[in-house]
Amino acid sequence: PTENKHDLTHVASLFDMRADLVHGHPYGSGHINDTYCAYYDQAGQRIRYIHQRLAENVFKEPVKLMENVGRVTDHAFNKLVEEGNPEAHRRTLTCIKSTEGKPYAVDKDGSVWRTYPFIERARTYDTITSTDQCVAAAKAFGEFQKLGADLGGEPLFETIPNFHNTKVRFQTLIEAIEKDEHNRAKDVAKEIEWFMARVDEGSKVVDMLEAGEIPVRVTHNDTKLNNVMLDDVTGEGICVIDLDTTMNGSAVYDFGDMVRTATSPAAEDEKDVSKVTMRMHMFDALVKGYLSSANAFLTDKERELLPFAGKLLTLECGTRFLADYLMGDVYFKIHRDGHNIDRTRTQIALVESIDQQMGEMEALVQKYSV
Ligand code: ATP
Ligand code: MG
Ligand code: MG
């Protein structure tokens, strides 16, 4: 959570607000950026905006990141307006332009800020409490991809290089095993063997993208439930937020990460792996929601990949945890010895659970494809 340490009057002066700042305060439960909610007076009316300072230790190229966000949100907004959507301003984030006409502004200390209109009468949830929320969130991520599906022009800037390049992820793991800098490989021989038996599966989607068998799309890459605003009244997923990782990639990455993060009842670092399972009713909800919007643009090949996608993204995450363990826990924060190994094992368990249920998962995708 954000400390109240920034001068919002200065921030407000950088943007073309056409309204007067009344007051602002730190807001939300984000872990990455500094988020503020600020009240403005616009001709006697109170309006809220979100000001966000980008985390400079995380994002090395904040201006390029914001150019991605500006392009994607402009495109989405224009498309919604063209379609005659009466709620266009609520269905996508939009960047308030800086006084220089940019989707971001740089403050006197060199930090990059963005300003979004506050999405009213909706909120984010940190934990999933119903399958309806799952349906709603998955539908919203499908809508997001749909809005981006015909974004023209140059490819988006690759904010995090090779983020979902599972081929490279496996390669990184193999190098970590070969180097074995902390002499830990001997303790995880079984896990290493398990991953090495799945190297080929790891390259499936990357190879298909490279061969042009499936299209490169605009993808969100952080498809957690708490990155979707759900309507306070209807519960509908109205708008996807947190676009920092929006890049080009395969549509199935976004879907697969939903399966990885939403279907198991166990925590990512649960020690009792018997608690880790891919719950079919949650998968059902994800497919139902996602395909209700994504059927409009997905190719048959992409649709066929959906059951595999959850497995792929779980494999990917597992390779990252195991490689980090072997490299001495340098990337993921650990709170106990072997924390990254516990995390590796939950990913293995989830992949195995998916494998056992693959037939039923394929049948569900079929069912919602028509
Ligand atoms: P993390 O990566 O940890 O999820 P973050 O630092 O990237 O967080 P965001 O997810 O972008 O931050 O935003 C933090 C919170 O602020 C969101 O969970 C949401 O509740 C709120 N928020 C962000 N943008 C808006 C908006 N336009 N309208 C209303 N609320 C918003
Ligand atoms: Mg977020
Ligand atoms: Mg974020």
Q: 320 falls in which pLDDT band (50, 70, 90)?
A: very high
User: Average pLDDT of 105-125?
Assistant: 96
Q: What is the CATH number of domain 8-120?
A: 3.30.200.20
Q: Could you check whether 8-120 and 131-369 share the same CATH topology? A: no
Which ligand is nearest to the Cα of residue 31, counting in written order?
A: 1
CA of residue 224 to ligand 2 center, whole Å:
8
Cβ atoms of residues 229 and 123 within 8 Å: yes
Which residue ranges make up each domain of the chain? 8-120, 131-369
| Residue with CA closest to ligand 1 atom 12 | 30
**CA atoms of 293 and 306, how far apart (whole Å):** 14
User: Average pLDDT of 245-274?
Assistant: 96
| Residue with CA closest to ligand 1 atom 16 | 28
Q: Which two tokens stand for residue 181?
A: 């800098």
Q: What is the pLDDT of residue 145?
A: 98
Cβ atoms of residues 195 and 351 within 8 Å: no
CA of residue 226 to ligand 1 center, whole Å:
8
| Residue with CA closest to ligand 1 atom 9 | 242
Q: pLDDT exceeding 70 applies to what percent of the chain?
A: 100
Q: What is the CATH number of domain 131-369?
A: 3.90.1200.10
Looking at the predicted complex, does its ipTM rise above 0.85? Answer: yes
**CA torsion, ordered 229, 234, 238, 242, to nearest 10 deg:** 10
Q: What is the pLDDT of residue 347?
A: 98
| Residue with CA closest to ligand 1 atom 14 | 30
Question: Using CA of residue 159, residue 36, residue 12, residue 17, what is the dihedral sign?
Answer: positive
Cβ atoms of residues 351 and 308 within 8 Å: no
Using CB atoms within 10 Å of the CB of residue 225, give its burial: 0 to 12 exposed, 13 to 18 middle, 19+ buried: buried
Model confidence over 2-28: pLDDT tens digits? 777 899 999 999 999 999 999 999 999
Model confidence over 66-90: pLDDT tens digits? 999 999 999 999 999 999 999 999 9
Model confidence over 167-194: pLDDT tens digits? 999 999 999 999 999 999 999 999 999 9
Q: What is the pLDDT of residue 1?
A: 64
Q: What is the pLDDT of residue 146?
A: 97
Mutate to test the pocket of ligand 1, among 124, 221, 245 (most ligand atoms within 8 A of CB): 124
Please give the number of the atom of ligand 1 that sits closest to the Cα of 117: 27
Query: How confident is the prediction for the chain on average, in pLDDT?
Result: 96
> Which residues surround ligand 1 with Cβ inside 6 Å?
27-33, 35, 50, 93, 116, 118-119, 124, 226-227, 241-242, 244
Q: 51 falls in which pLDDT band (50, 70, 90)?
A: very high
Chain centroid offset of residue 150 CA: 20
**CA atoms of 41 and 320, how far apart (whole Å):** 47
